[in-house]
Structure 1
């Protein structure tokens, strides 16, 4: 297919589920390619959340844990729970693939995996925010900590969601 031409069934959709411009691939080939891309993307998030979770699990066994205020203990419980939920969502695609492999469901698996990864990223965002709140409260006790954590939360939102969505909107609007 000539460069820039639409795929076999029309122009690319902004959500990435349609044929990619400049690619001449079947829906099965597209699903295989997108699956590979998803697995590469998920490796970074999985590793990060698993390391964070491991560190969080050790905190309760440190001598300083007994000194935490009730508020800090509550933040800890929420943080560990969020990390566990994030791990579930980010490892879910592996199990999902295992359960549906060989049943000609790859396009559906790609769609559901994309959703699980998005949920996992949202949970990771919440986990990082809660972990930062806990660590900075314990380390400094400063009144500015919630403001600092709020700014970091906004930074994550900008980097992980706002910028990609803005680029997606800006560069796909002219193709409709």
Structure 2
């Protein structure tokens, strides 16, 4: 299935108009995610320079490094649509830009999820017992996945049902 679907019923738009509309919608979504992940990454980068950082054990340092790497990867994926668009701008590739930007955004959201969870795990390991930190982080995974991904997956699955194919 293509990331750029045909016009929904009730819309009379060309392929280019649809791409323009979807591009504008995607940019609004990316702005929200970019801001959040950039603030989180900035905070994470300062942690290594705090006095308490030296007290972290080896496992917590590994979690910290993994968290920073996830955050960096998320920033990269969420900024990628801008870079992609800029490099193909003016070549009449807007529908392809929307498809790639959508893919990068989804990858960025998954990486943001990983960043949040690993940061949460690190923080909870510092303030709580290790087993409790793992369980609470797993609970956060269920909650975030349930908010961010599950409803969309359910709606997409239902939209493919037999009643929609008529």
Q: Same fold (TM over 0.5)?
A: yes
Unaligned runs of 5+ in 2: none
Whether contact under 8 Å (1:14, 1:172) holds in the other structure is no
**Once structures 1 and 2 are overlaid, which stretch shifts more, 153-162 or 34-43?**
153-162
Task: Confirm or deny that 1:118 pairs with 2:106.
Answer: yes
Unaligned runs of 5+ in 1: 1-12
Counterpart of 1:107?
95
The alpha-carbon deviation at position 142 of structure 1 amounts to 4.5
Counterpart of 1:175?
164
The alpha-carbon deviation at position 172 of structure 1 amounts to 4.5
3-state DSSP of counterpart to 2:131: coil
**Once structures 1 and 2 are overlaid, which stretch shifts more, 165-174 or 94-103?**
165-174
Whether contact under 8 Å (2:4, 2:95) holds in the other structure is no
Counterpart of 1:7?
none
Counterpart of 2:15?
27
Counterpart of 1:67?
55
- Taking the TM superposition and a 5 Å limit, the aligned residue runs for 1:12-91 are 17-91=5-79
Counterpart of 1:157?
145
Q: Which has the higher contact order (CA 8 A, sep 6+)?
A: 2
